């Protein structure tokens, strides 16, 4: 297969490009504008004869010089810090970028897979979340630029599938972690690991009772590739049903890193989901998929990667200023 990956220099996209080469794809075309991705993430692939990196913004169209058999649309800011910093770019890539990617797939008769998100469920009132749940999203809140961009991208994908015969599918990705996450991207696992390794206070939002379900990136990539090889439209949840509170996660990471950092509570961001856990029954049946990596094993691999990064300059330079200490509460 010849596969185009938009957002291929991002965290998940770079792992996806690497796996596609490992399984023998004839050509992997990685397209990224490096708004939040980095050439560093695919530096180990740039010498590969079947890999091509193109700097381009899919919002302005996607031009390819040869045929492609699949289009994997992963272009978008994905962390709250990034999409709150770039709300208009996030909305545009969800709308115009998705349309261009779908147009290319239809023109070439290629399989299309949209990387959507559990954020389409918002702050859910149904737990765990099944694909049939329509969600509880604030359409005008600060997170809406990401939530609604992905919801629109899903609607556009299904419209192309129904009206233009697109071989298109949607995966809803739940919290994914692993090597190549940016230390300062604002997501909980890189934030806590960075803070633990540097001996800084480990910040947990709210009272720490809110939950996430954590899936290691290798397992997520396997699920995406199974969706690529399927013909279903979805959406299909991809995530790990292992649910953990944020306070439990902070203590877990502190133990695994051997850190002596204190754990402090900071204000909860607006519209932050209280609970998050995927129902993956559909993925089990339709894709034969479920996560294989224990969360602790994934955390240890991620910590090792971050530890190697700390051999250079402090990672704190990449991180926005923390909340005022006056609003923090220490948790032993």
Annotated active-site positions, please?
Answer: 146
CA atoms within 13 A on the CB side of 90: 23
Residue 215, classed as helix, strand or coil, is: strand
Rounded Cα gap, residues 11 and 132, in angstroms: 28
Rounded Cα gap, residues 26 and 161, in angstroms: 26
Locate 62 and state its tokens.
């996607």
DSSP 96: I
- The CB density around residue 99, as the number of other CB atoms within 10 Å, is 18
- Label the pairing between strands 329-331 and 263-266: antiparallel
Rounded Cα gap, residues 169 and 161, in angstroms: 8
Cβ proximity of 158 and 233 under 8 Å: yes
Written as one string, the DSSP assignment of 166-195 is --EEEEEE--EE-TT--TTS--HHHHHHHH
Of the candidates 331, 23, 37, 68, which has an alpha carbon nearest to the alpha carbon of residue 180? 37
Residue 323, classed as helix, strand or coil, is: coil
């Amino acid at each position: 297969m010849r596969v185009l990956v938009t957002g291929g220099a991002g965290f998940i996209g770079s792992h996806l490009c690497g796996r596609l080469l490992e399984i023998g794809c004839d050509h992997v075309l990685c397209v990224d504008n490096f708004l939040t991705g980095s050439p560093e993430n695919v530096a180990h692939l740039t010498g590969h004869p079947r890999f091509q990196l193109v700097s381009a913004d899919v919002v302005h169209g996607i031009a390819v010089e040869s045929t492609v058999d699949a289009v994997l649309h992963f272009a978008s800011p994905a962390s709250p810090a990034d999409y709150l910093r770039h709300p208009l770019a996030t909305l545009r890539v969800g709308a115009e970028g998705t349309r261009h990617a779908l147009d290319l797939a239809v023109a070439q008769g290629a399989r299309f897979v949209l990387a959507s998100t559990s954020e389409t469920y918002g702050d859910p009132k149904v737990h765990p979340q099944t694909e049939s749940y329509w969600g509880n999203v604030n359409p005008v809140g600060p997170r809406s630029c990401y939530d609604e961009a992905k919801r629109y991208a899903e609607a556009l994908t299904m419209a192309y599938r129904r009206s233009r015969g697109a071989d298109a599918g949607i995966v809803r990705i739940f919290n994914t972690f692993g090597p190549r996450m940016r230390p300062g991207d604002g997501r909980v696992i890189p934030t806590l690991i960075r803070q633990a390794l540097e001996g800084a206070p480990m910040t947990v939002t709210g009272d720490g009772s809110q939950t996430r379900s954590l899936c290691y990136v290798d397992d997520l990539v396997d699920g995406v590739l199974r969706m690529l090889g399927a013909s279903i439209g979805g959406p299909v949840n991809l995530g790990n049903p292992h649910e953990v509170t944020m306070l439990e996660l902070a203590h877990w990471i502190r133990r695994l890193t051997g850190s002596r950092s204190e754990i402090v509570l900071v204000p909860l961001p607006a519209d932050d989901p209280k609970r998050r856990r995927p129902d993956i029954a559909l993925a089990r049946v339709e894709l034969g998929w479920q996560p294989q990596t224990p969360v602790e094993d994934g955390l240890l691999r991620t910590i090792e990667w971050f530890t190697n990064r700390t051999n250079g300059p402090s990672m704190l330079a990449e991180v926005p200023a923390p909340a005022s200490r006056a609003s923090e509460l220490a948790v032993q």
